[in-house]
Amino acid sequence: MRAAIAIAVLASTMTGCATFQPSLPEGYQGPVATIHDSAQSLESKKANLFFVTQVDGRKVKDSLTETIARNQGRGFSLSPFVLEHDVPAKPILVSLTGITHYAAPILALTGKVYQVEGTVSFTPEANQDYVVKGSLGPDVTAVWIEEKRSGKIVGRVDSQPKR
């Protein structure tokens, strides 16, 4: 299991050739909302990241890829970097991921890695801000989108803990 996690983490560091698309469809002229990714720094070498990976099936640049790129060459030190995504203010499908990320792949072999991913459907309101949040741990593993001002959850993905 740890070897599979290490391979997945290593593979995620090799995404420099990935093709990303804008979060807004080409030529879109309508109202927009913004979804902000988030992170929880747990230690100087580990963080939980909660982020958007796709909007209506379009793979967008994500906070995990950006964090990996910006932390290259820093050894066992990790500073999470989160992105924001302008999205159309209309019904959309948003793919989300929550993952524990370490500064170096070798650290994932000895530490706990939690991950959850899934897709939510919601209708963002024009000129509103939303944030991707979550909980990663042995009892609750979930990622969701909430209204930034009110904290109201508008879409949630849960994963059952493995026992």
The 3-state secondary structure of the chain, one letter per residue: CHHHHHHHHHHHCCCCCCCCCCCCCCCCCCCEEEEECEEEEEECCEEEEEEEEEECCEECCCHHHHHHHHCCCCCCCCCCCCCEEEEECCCEEEEEEEEEEECCHHHHHHCCCCEEEEEEEECCCCCCEEEEEEEECCCCEEEEEEECCCCCEEEEEEECCCC
* pLDDT at residue 17, rounded to an integer: 59
Q: Is the pLDDT higher at 17 or at 152?
A: 152
Residue 2's pLDDT band (cuts 50, 70, 90) = low
| Residue range 32-44, pLDDT digits in tens | 999 999 999 998 8
Residue 7: pLDDT above 50? Answer: no
Q: Is the pLDDT higher at 25 or at 97?
A: 97
Residue 60's pLDDT band (cuts 50, 70, 90) = very high
Residue 22: pLDDT above 70? Answer: yes
Mean pLDDT of the chain: 87
